[in-house]
Amino acid sequence: MKSKNRENYVILQEKLRELEEKLFNTKEKLKMYGYKDSSENGDLTALNEKAKIYQFQINLLKTKMERVNQEDDKTITYKILATGEKKTVQLTNGETDPDQGKISRTSPVGMALDKKKNGEVVEVKISQKRYQIQIIDIKEV
């Protein structure tokens, strides 16, 4: 694993630990309520929803962590065919920052670009719009 991926993995591990702790604490609070009917108790309903959200986030993080181990970051330059505009992004499994051009492999653009080759034309769907983009260059980071 490259050092950059190792750093991303450590960050994700810490977030996972925090989420697992929050989930544990939420489940402990739920135990204090016992097995009462949650439909008549707003606090209990809210705690159940929190637990579901934490579990979902934990599952997402675990998936990201698996991918960090498998793939290195890439810098990809592509052209939006309709406008001719060129963009360069870093495709990552770790921390994302779209304003800085760091996008997740699981984002719509990331999924369209991942595992593609130079010159390949792919379609990206963002919101209700579809874009044809051509990959110009791919570099391992």
Model pLDDT for residues 10-53, shown as the tens digit of each residue? 888 899 999 999 999 999 988 887 766 656 678 888 999 999 99
Q: Is residue 100 located within the same domain as residue 124?
A: yes
Instruction: At 63, list the tokens.
Output: 């998936």
* 46 and 78, same domain (yes or no): no
Considering the entire predicted model, what is its pTM? Answer: 0.53
Residues 6 and 117: their CA atoms lie apart, in Å, by 26
Give me the domain span that covers residue 29.
3-70
pLDDT per position as a tens digit, 49-103: 999 999 999 998 888 787 766 667 889 999 999 999 999 999 987 678 889 999 9
Here the CATH number for the domain that contains residue 134 is: 3.10.50.30
14, containing H or E segment? helix 3-33
Q: Which of 70, 90, 113 is the last residue of a domain?
A: 70
